[in-house]
């Protein structure tokens, strides 16, 4: 038998050709969608795949990891709407009613009590002098609400500090609401605050979140135990 005859036999019906066709058909079955139909994604996996949380939008100067101090506090609750939370957060005159142990001397913007982008307002917290603040972002929830302001204290290299405080109110599936607050600070006083233990800003902002939720539920927040109070670090004595 010549080489040409062997080659012709292989191409016409040998085991080699059959194996080639089998591998080809198997590949088509694996990658044509048949596998996905045979093993569908479970409902739980689908929910996990679709769930994406919104994030704070940072100016470059305050990008977490590059600033001198950064804290993040978050909670997820149910049986409250984003609008109920927003009403207690965006109205700065409400802050002292549920966060009064760590905020005072709140002066709302000339435009009204609700903070809007471009507004200026004042308040004092964490023992700092009264801060002049500018609202950098104010977006009513639908389904994500955003509120952020910048502030600063002039001074020299030892005393100057700049801050950016942002809030995010997000509607989640199942009647849940996510509340995220983060603050980034630049300056030597910020670095000192970051090194201090207990972490006063972390505890204080947790009090703010918890007070915000309690106020939105209509609860009496006057006698609530606080995280700052548990370590004798409340900033405002009333």
Q: In this predicted model, what pLDDT tens digit does every residue of 29-53 receive, in sequence order?
A: 544 544 444 445 555 555 554 457 8
Q: In this predicted model, what pLDDT tens digit does every residue of 101-160 receive, in sequence order?
A: 889 999 999 999 999 999 999 999 987 889 999 999 999 999 899 999 999 999 999 999
For residue 75, the surrounding DSSP H or E stretch is strand 69-78
Give the contacts of 152 (CB within 8 A, at least 6 positions apart). Answer: 131, 132, 160, 161, 162, 163
pLDDT at 46: 52
| Most confident of the following: 1-5, 51-55, 89-93, 224-228 | 89-93
pLDDT at 83: 96
Higher pLDDT, 118 or 19: 118
Write the DSSP assignment of 163-226 as a string of letters: EEEEEEEEEETTTEEEEEEEEEEESHHHHHHHHSSS-HHHHHHHHHHHHHHHHHTT---TT---
Instruction: Give the tokens for residue 137.
Output: 């972002």
**Considering the entire predicted model, what is its pTM?**
0.77
In degrees and rounded to multiples of 5, residue 213 shows phi and psi of: -65, -45
pLDDT at 223: 61
Average pLDDT over residues 71-85: 97
DSSP designation for 91:
B
95-99, 125-129, 181-185: which has the minimum mean pLDDT? Answer: 125-129
Chain centroid to CA 5: how far?
72
Topology annotation, domain 52-230: Alpha-D-Glucose-1,6-Bisphosphate; Chain A, domain 4 (3.30.530)
């Amino acid at each position: 038998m010549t080489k040409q005859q062997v080659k012709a036999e292989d191409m016409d019906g040998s085991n080699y050709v059959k194996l080639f066709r089998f591998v080809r058909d198997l590949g088509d079955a694996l990658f044509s969608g048949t596998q996905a139909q045979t093993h569908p994604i479970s409902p739980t996996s689908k929910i996990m795949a679709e769930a994406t949380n919104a994030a704070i939008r940072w100016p470059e100067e305050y990008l977490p990891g590059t600033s001198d101090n950064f804290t993040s506090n978050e909670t997820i609750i149910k049986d409250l709407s984003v609008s109920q939370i927003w009403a207690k957060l965006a109205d700065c005159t409400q802050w002292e009613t549920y966060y009064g142990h760590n905020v005072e001397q709140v002066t709302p913007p000339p435009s009204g009590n609700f903070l809007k982008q471009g507004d200026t307002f004042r308040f004092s917290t964490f023992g700092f002098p009264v801060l002049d603040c500018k609202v950098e972002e104010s977006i009513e929830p639908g389904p994500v609400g955003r509120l952020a302001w910048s502030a600063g204290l002039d001074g020299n290299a030892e005393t100057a500090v700049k801050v950016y405080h942002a809030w995010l109110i997000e509607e989640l599936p199942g009647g849940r609401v996510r509340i995220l607050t983060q603050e980034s600070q630049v300056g030597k006083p910020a670095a000192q605050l970051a090194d201090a233990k207990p972490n006063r800003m972390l505890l204080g902002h947790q009090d703010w979140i918890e007070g915000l939720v309690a106020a939105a539920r209509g609860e009496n927040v006057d006698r609530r135990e606080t995280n700052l109070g548990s370590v004798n670090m409340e900033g405002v004595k009333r």
